[in-house]
Amino acid sequence: MKILVTGAAGFLGSRLIRALLAPTAGPELSSIVAADLTKCPIDDRRVDSRTGTITGENFIAAIVDRDVDVVFHLAAALSGQSEAEFDVGMRVNVDATRNLLEACRRLNSAPRFVFASSVAVFGGALPDIVSEDVALLPQSSYGTEKAIAELLVSDYSRRAFVDGIACRLPTVAIRPGKPNSAMSSFVSGIIREPLAGIDSVCPVPLDTRLWVSSPAVVTANLLHAASLSTSALEGKRAVNFPGLCVTPAEMLASLERLGGAAARARVRCEPDQRLMRVVCTWPGAFDVSRATRLGFQRDVDVDSIVRQFMDEQTTHPGNETS
Ligand X SMILES: NC(=O)c1ccc[n+]([C@@H]2O[C@H](COP(=O)([O-])OP(=O)(O)OC[C@H]3O[C@@H](n4cnc5c(N)ncnc54)[C@H](O)[C@@H]3O)[C@@H](O)[C@H]2O)c1
In angstroms, rounded to a whole number, what is the distance separating the alpha carbons of residues 176 and 246?
Answer: 19
Q: Quick one: 87 or 109, whose CB is closer to ligand X?
A: 87
Whether the CB-CB separation of 278 and 124 falls below 8 Å is answered with no
Q: How far is the CB of 170 from ligand X (least distance, A)?
A: 7
Sign of CA dihedral 295, 287, 244, 40: positive
Q: How far is the CB of 318 from ligand X (least distance, A)?
A: 16
Chain residues binding ligand X by CB under 6 A are 7, 9-13, 36-37, 53-55, 74-78, 92, 116, 118, 169, 171-172, 180, 184
CA dihedral 215, 218, 223, 229 (to 10 degrees): 170
Residue among 142, 211, 282, 309 flagged as catalytic: 142
Q: What is the DSSP string of 169-204?
A: E-EE----SS--SSTTHHHHHHHHHHHTT--EEE-S
Residue 130 has φ and ψ, to the nearest 5°, of -85, 125
Q: Quick one: 99 or 157, whose CB is closer to ligand X?
A: 99
Q: Quick one: 11 or 309, whose CB is closer to ligand X?
A: 11
Q: Quick one: 38 or 109, whose CB is closer to ligand X?
A: 38
Q: How far is the CB of 147 from ligand X (least distance, A)?
A: 12
- Is 142 a known active-site residue? yes
Which residues, in sequence order, are bridge partners of residue 211?
A: 245
Q: How far is the CB of 102 from ligand X (least distance, A)?
A: 16
Could you tell me where the beta strands, DSSP code E, fall in 214-302?
238-240, 244-246, 267-269
Give the chain's length: 322
Which residues belong to the active site? 142
